[in-house]
Structure formats: structure tokens, C-alpha cells
Chain A
Amino acid sequence: MKYLNKGISEIHELLKSKRIKPIDLVEEAFDNIESNKDLNAYITLNKESAIQQAKELENKEVDNILFGLPIAVKDNICTNGLRTTCGSHILENFIPIYDATIVEKIKEKNMIIIGKTNMDEFAMGSSSRTSYFGAPKNPWNKEKICGGSSGGSAATIAARDLLFAIGSDTGGSIRQPASYTGIVGLKPTYGRISRYGLVAFASSLDQMGPMTKNVYENAVLLNALVGKDPKDLTSANKEEEDFTRFIGQDIKGMKIAVPNFLMGDIVTDVVKEKIKDTIKILEKNGAMVDYVDVKYLEHAMTLYQIIAMGEASSNLARFDGIRYGFQAENVKNIEDVYLETRGQGFGEEVKRRIMVGSYLLSGENAKIYYNKALSIRDDMRKEFKKVFENYDLIIGPTTVSTAYDLTDPMDDPRKSFMDDVLVIPVNMAGLPGMNIPVGFDKNHMPIGMQIIGNSFEEAKMYQLASFIEKELNLDLTPGGER
């Protein structure tokens, strides 16, 4: 009997009425992962302790809707006693002795962590191909990338291995793979979810979020993850809210902006057409959609490179093999410890970004580049703020095209940044952004739409997303319903 292809409410009822046990779901998830092994979605599976936890839960009351449900966690999120590699050789054998706050929250709900998902090394990349453990594959077409950096989380959800996965998004790393794999992925407002225990890439941009097969389940999971955390000074103190509360409401009178930049020449026609089709549906249902100019969006990529790489060069300095992680052998002196450990431990893309970041922060460059980027970022925030004075939400495509081939060359870093050119402005402004599938190209590869909300207005985004989901009623299971 299969349960994990059902909706969360149905599974919850089955658990509550004791017709199934958490162990049934855990075993099914591992069976699914096993049969989808070639997707390479996982770096580490948590089989033994997941099964043990499931058995322990049999004696506990099913006290919340997430109780007993399997979840996959991106491998840059620290899990106590469970290997956390960040997709890197340098942390290949790193087993944290602490849980990330988000993991504590998952455990509080008695969800069961199934494994750690594959990703670009230290989340640096947009196709998950920089992973030390090999690239994950797209369930819609195994010749294609599943995007990145949260590629493994996207693949396992798209393949319907299980209901829930956590990703992280520094410059689109949840939304972009969600778009390439036809799932729902949300990057919440910066500060919504504590970053404690997320291995930092670019601290001022990093944010984790839920990746799911549908909108409702996404909102339900978000409910469990948010909150002010004394361990993260950048986490926001917000009143508790139910992110599902507007789901099912109509969108009559909703004011929606489409930035011209997001529908510009860089976007392929097939993607543009699908977005336009969706816009028509929205207008037909009483939403007002305007095309608007939003200043600075075209600079977002440049700002991102400066800020993200600058911060990354400092955040990744701690990996020196002295206290934890890989340490090179046969080193002669301290200089050697640094050069050899980091030289052998990091992959090419990570080294490239550390190098560029170090350059951007050195000497006068910090003022010329980093500080200037921070100030333009402020201006961009203000621009978004202005848009939200007149509009409820912003929409546009998530990616310029659908997923490309795993064998496409990786040697031009500027080209790979095109993968994220539409998603990065959201990180720069600290706003919430999500991907929702809106159709397929002629090769039946998913096309995603991006919804951008004002700070802390995720609930409104879910309202629009669920409306679109219902209207389009797409079959989003690769290879059809199981």
C-alpha cells in the first residue's frame, strides 16, 4: 500500500486513527529513495535512527498534523549525530554535536529525518553539479540538471519520495531547482527562520525554507519552522500566524505587479508565454495585473556576486582542519595546514568564489565594492517597498528557461549565473519569494512562476499560489500518477 502519494490531511487521519504507523511511512520513503537511487538525491541516509524514531513514536499521541511524517534536510543544515557534509570533501566526515534550530523545530513536531540531500558544494552553484558527491538528476528527465543548490531536495520531492524537504536559498537555491523540477519552494523573508545551524554561505542573504509538492503542505511546514531564536540575532520577532489561513480564498481585487525586467529579452519565449497565460487566468478572475519598472533589478546579479562572495570568503575561512573536518596529511608547518587542507578539501567553484571574495574585500576594494554594494542594495529595497505601496504581490518567471542538460559545460561562471538572474533580487531585498509550477515546455520539462511578497507577507503569497495551483490543476508527477 502506498501512502506518501496522498495529501497531508489524509495521511494525518490515517495516522491518527492508527490505521497506519509512522514506520509504514518511513519504510515507504526508504523504498522510494531506493528505487530512485539513480537520482543521487541524497548524500547520507538516516535509516537506522529514522526507523528507531518511528517505532518510538508508536506509543505517542498523534498531536499535530506533521507528526510522524518523513522529511529530508539539505546537507548544509546541522543535524546532531548525523553527518553534515555541505556537499564538500572538507566536511566529508563531519558529524555535528548540535542540531540547527530548524532541526530542533522539526524534531519538536515529531517529524522523522530521513536523510541529508545532495547539493552544490557549500551551496555554491546552480545545478548541484559542484557537489563532491556527484550531481543529482532531474526526475522529469535524468539527462537534465535539477537545478541548485538545493538540487537533492528538489529531486526527492519531484520524484514523490516523500512529502517534505528543507532547502536553503542564498541566491535562488530553493526557487530555481523548484522551477526546474516542478515543485513548490518558498524562500521566506530574511529573518523568518533562524539560521542557527545552517552552515553559512552569505550570512546576510541565507535563508532556509520548505520544498513540497503542493502549496498547502508548504504552508503547513512553514508554520512549524518559523520564530525568533535567541541563538540568531538576525531572526525576526513576529507574532505567530497560520500561513494556510488565506488558502482557498479568491483573488478578486488583488493587485499584482510584473516587473518588466523579469519579462525581458533574457527570458525564453516558451517561459514568457506560459507566464502570460497564467496572467490571463488571474485577470479573468478579477486580479489587476500591471507591468512596472523596478529600478536596480538589472544590478542585482552584480551586487549578489560582491556581497555573497565577500561574505563567503570570510565564512569559509574556519575550515582549516584544525578543530574539525578534513585535514591534509604530511603537512610541514601551519602554512601547509592551511594551503594543503583547503587546497585539497575545497572544490574548484568554492575556491574560485573564495578567491574572488577575498579580492573584493582586500584593501580599498572593500569600500569600492562591498560597501557600495550594500548601499545599492538598500536602494533596491526601497524600490521594492515603493512597488508594494501599490501592489499586493509581484510575479514573473522563476527561471529564464527550463532545466538544461547535465553535460552542458560548466566552465563559464557568468553563464551559470543566468540561471539565477531572476531569483536573486529577492535575496538582495530580503523579501519572501516562491516558485509554483505553471506548465511544461514541449519536452515536458516544468516551467515555474515566481511570486514575490512584501516582507513577512508569506500568507498572501500562498493565497495566490494555491489559487493558481487549483486553476491549472497540473499533473506534476513525473511519469504520471504512481
Chain B
Amino acid sequence: MTNYIPTVGVEVHVELKTKTKIFSDARNGYGQMANSLTNVVDLGYPGTLPTLNEEVIMLAIRAATILNCNIQRVMHFDRKNYFYPDIPKNFQITQNDTPIGYDGYVEITKENGETKKIFIEEMHIEEDTCKSAHRKDKTLLDFNRAGVPLIEIVTKPCMTSGEEVKLYLEKLRELLSFGDISDCKIEEGSMRADVNVSIRKNERDPLGVKAEIKNIGSISNAKLGVEKEIERQAKLYDNGETFKPQTRRFDDKIGDTVLMRIKETGNDYRYFPEPDIPFVILTDEMIEEAKKGIPMLPDERRRIYVEKGVLEANANKLVQNRTISDFFNTLLEEKTDFKIASNMLLGDISAYLNREEKELNETTLTKERFLELVKFYQEGTITSKNLKEMLDMILESDKTIADIMKEQGIENITDDSEIRNVIKDIIQKNPESVSDFKNGHDRAIKFLMGQVMKETKGKANPRLANDILLEELKS
């Protein structure tokens, strides 16, 4: 197969996490009974008019900021006219002339550590269509989704592989979900990606014929879809064949793209400015207000965690779970051992959460109780074995850690003199082991420690006991 240079651009639709729809006061929700979240405005009834949900504007400004876009200060909406049953007015209100954000970028980091800027041509606000379900000779329409606010983010054709597309989509999902802009749940359709793929032989050649892949159900499928499409186009060119610009969809079952339709030339959407919505002027105050709402983003979280002593791998893992990361952020002002804290959250606590299918904020763990827990652990008052035994109580009750330890009989003796007396007694009773130690046999310590634990019924603080034992042996 000849070597070709692929060119890939991505268009992503993201549903915004607003309370109500963009142009009506119907609730914005997912998974409800069909047509229960809709009203006469969403259904395009005669005489109804759009209103404009301000929350949408604020979230869109926030998204534009996060994606390093310039912000359009005077913007309007446009009508995109086409007939289709899923668009109730037979036009979609969108932004054609004045997208709220333009000329932005996000940075991806490739496996070899290299970074690359993915350039964003523009991002605009528009309304979602309704959902159609085809049944035999009928089509059912659910208007719950009609009028849900979307932002569409369009990159420049600047990616060259499925891997880059995957990294870009992962980065975008991370940014938009941490920015509290969207749930970005691909399986629920709150994030949808279409990719445009073409290939050419040389950098100097014009871009090749384009195929658009729609209906991609996951980020890994986006990668696979791009790779398969590059392969398909290369084979055609190698065989001296050509193809027409087309729309394809990714078929999950066969793991490949299939043809949907050949693109007609000159799709005519008869765009014109939406006369029912006056121009929107974005003031400095609005932009400041929107920016204020941006939570700490993943890159900054990772940087701070590492600064606090968390291992880099663990810093990455913490950021992968939003609730755990948010919880971790509440600790940042405190004096604690962040390494232990992160190990504990990612280890036993995460395992528990996975097993119980819970999020951290659905447990009883508070910042105060967690700090107490870390302290006991750091002191050696509780062992990792203790932690496992106590986990149920820690995450499902309101008791203090000290109380839980008492209840569980994990009552460590931390009184120096009490332990010292026990150790002195044991040293006296075991002269052979003492001489073994003095002859350099470290095993003797293990034996003696065993005796200490036996004598104290395991309640001696192991680290303290160890220290005292060494002291006494050396004296």
C-alpha cells in the first residue's frame, strides 16, 4: 500500500447542562418518558416564539474560554432551513455568521510525550433536533431532545491519524466535563462526534476527496473509524479508483464504516438572520461572570497534585474521577500527607466504590474524617489491614475514626513507657535472641517483635514498638 498523508477534521456536538431548553422553558432532561419534556414552542406551533436561555450563553462563553477561543462580542442567531421530520419548525436556529467562539485550540499530549495544538475554527450555539425511531413503516418522534442547547465545536483539518482524533476527543471531553459545561456522555448522546477524512500523496497536493463519518458511538470507535476510512480510501486510490464526497456511518457490529449517502453538491440551507431573536451583546461583565464559574481544570489539578507530592501516575488517576478529584481538592489547603491520601483514595476506597457502584460523594466520608484517617495511618496507628476491616464503617457511618477503631478493637498502645516495660521484660526472658541480634542476625528482631505483639495482644503500635526494641537492644 502506498503511503498517503491523511487529513482529519472533527465536528463535535455537545449538549449543555442547563436546567431548561435553549428557546423555551421546557425542562432539559434525559431518559424521561417520550414527549414529556416538550411544549408548544419546542413543537413549533403556529405563533409561538423563541425566548433565549441566558444560562446557555454563560456556558457557551465558558466553553469558548476553556477552548482558548476569541469571543464574538456582538452575535446573532441564524435560521438553517431544511425539511426533515426531526426538526419541528423545518428550520434550525443556529449561528452561521457570528459563532460565539472562533480561532481557538486545545493541546493534546501524544504517547511519546510530544504535544500538539488542535486548532478550533469556531464553536457556535444551536438547538438540538428531536429523536426519531424507525419502526417498520412508521417513524416515531420524541421531542424531549428538540430544543436542548448544543454547542458545535469545529476543528480545522489539522489531525493526521485516528490516534490524534482519539486524544483530541478525550481532551475535549475532559475539559468540557470538568468545566461543568456538559455531561459529555457519548452513550447518551450528550457528546457526538462526526469526523471528516481525506488522504493525499504529498503535502503540496490539494486536499483529497472527503468522506464524513457520522454516528460514532465511542471515542475508540472514532479512532477505529478514521483508521478504517484511511485504509479504504488508500485501497481505492491504489487500485486507480476514485470516489465521490460521501457520508458514512460507523457500524458497531462490523467495526467498520458503511456508506449512508453520496453528498449532493451545494446543500442550500437558505441561511438568514433569525428575526425573532435580537442581536446579543456580550459585555465584559457577562464574560467575567462566566469565567468566574469555571472550576479548576484537569491540567492544573495534575500540576498541583504533583507539587503536593502525589506520584504523577496517581495524579492522572485522581483526575480521571471527577468526584474523587473534587474531594481531593478540598484537602489542598490542609496539612496532610498527600501521598498517603491519594494512595488511600485510589486504592482501597476506589476498590470499594467500584464494588458498590457508588460515587465518593454518595458515601459518608467527609474531609475531617478522611484527614483523621490519614493521620492515624501515617502514625502507624492503623495498618492497611485495619483499614480494609474498617472501610465499611468509614464510608457508611458517621462515627469518628477513633470511635470506629475502638469498636473494632483496634486499640493501639501508643504509651511509650507501657511498651518499654513489656519489651524490657521480653529481653530479659530471651537472652539467646539478644545475643543472636548482637551477632548480626536480624531475624532475632522479628522474633522479638512477635513476642511483643503476643504479649500486647497485637495492640502495640508496631512502629513505636520496633523503635523502642532497637533502643533497648542497643543499650
B-binding residues in A (CB < 8 A): 76-78, 84, 86, 91, 94, 96-98, 100, 195-200, 202-204, 230-234, 310-311, 313-314, 317-320, 322-324, 334, 338, 358, 361-363, 366, 370-371, 374
Contact = CB atoms under 8 A, between A and B. Distances in A.
A323 B44 contact: yes
A301 to B, nearest CB: 19
A232 B49 contact: yes
B49 A196 contact: yes
Contact of B49 (A91, A195, A358): A195
A198 B50 CA distance: 13
A323 B47 contact: no
13 contacts: A84-B46, A91-B46, A98-B40, A196-B49, A200-B49, A231-B49, A234-B278, A317-B89, A318-B44, A319-B46, A320-B83, A324-B45, A363-B266
Contacts of B81: 313-314, 317, 361
B4 interface: no
Given A97-B40, A230-B51, A323-B43, A318 B275 contact: no
B205 interface: no
Given A86-B46, A97-B40, A358-B270, A318 B90 contact: yes
Report the 10 A-B pairs with minimum CB-CB distance, sorted nearest first: A317-B90, A361-B270, A203-B275, A204-B275, A197-B47, A199-B46, A78-B47, A318-B44, A199-B47, A318-B89
Contacts of A313: 81, 270
Contacts of B272: 310-311, 314, 361, 366, 370-371
Given A84-B46, A318-B89, 7 more contacts: A97-B40, A233-B277, A317-B91, A318-B90, A323-B43, A323-B44, A334-B139
A224 B48 CA distance: 21
Interface string B76-91: 0001010101001111
Nearest to B268: A362
Nearest to A374: B273
A97 B46 CA distance: 11
B271 interface: yes
B88 A318 contact: yes
Contact of B85 (A78, A84, A96, A322): A322
A341 B46 CA distance: 16
Interface string B88-116: 11110000000000000000000000000
A198 B47 contact: yes
B265 to A, nearest CB: 11
A77 B47 CA distance: 8
B34 interface: no
Contacts of A230: 51
B52 interface: yes
Interface of B: 40, 43-52, 79, 81, 83, 85, 88-91, 139, 141, 266, 268, 270-273, 275-278
Contacts of B83: 317, 320, 338
B141 to A, nearest CB: 8
Contacts of A197: 47-48
Contacts of B266: 363
Nearest to A358: B270
A26 to B, nearest CB: 26
A311 B275 contact: yes
Contacts of B46: 78, 84, 86, 91, 94, 96, 199-200, 318-319, 324
Contacts of B90: 317-318, 320
Contacts of B50: 233
A138 B141 CA distance: 46
Nearest to B43: A323
Q: Which of B46, B51, B81 has the most chain A CB atoms closer than 10 A to its own CB?
A: B46
A384 B49 CA distance: 29
A367 to B, nearest CB: 10
A234 to B, nearest CB: 6
Contacts of B43: 323
B92 to A, nearest CB: 11
A323 B271 contact: no
Contacts of A195: 49
B144 to A, nearest CB: 14
Contacts of B52: 233
A233 B278 contact: yes
A386 B273 CA distance: 27
A195 B52 CA distance: 16
A123 B141 CA distance: 31
Contacts of A202: 275
Contacts of A200: 46-47, 49, 276
A142 B90 CA distance: 41
Contacts of A231: 49, 51
B88 A323 contact: yes
A84 B40 CA distance: 15
Nearest to B278: A233
Contact of B48 (A84, A196, A338): A196
A338 B90 CA distance: 11
Contact of A314 (B40, B79, B278): B79
B47 A233 contact: no
Contact of A366 (B40, B48, B270): B270
Contacts of A232: 49, 276
Nearest to B40: A98
Contacts of A198: 47
A199 B46 CA distance: 5
B74 to A, nearest CB: 15
A86 B46 CA distance: 10
Contacts of A371: 272
Contacts of B141: 322
Contacts of A77: 47
Contacts of B40: 97-98
A334 B45 CA distance: 20
Task: Give the most central of A96, A203, A323, A324: most B CB within 10 Å.
Answer: A323
Contacts of A314: 79, 81, 91, 270, 272
Nearest to B89: A318
Contacts of A358: 270
A77 B85 CA distance: 25
Contacts of A203: 275-276
Contacts of B79: 314
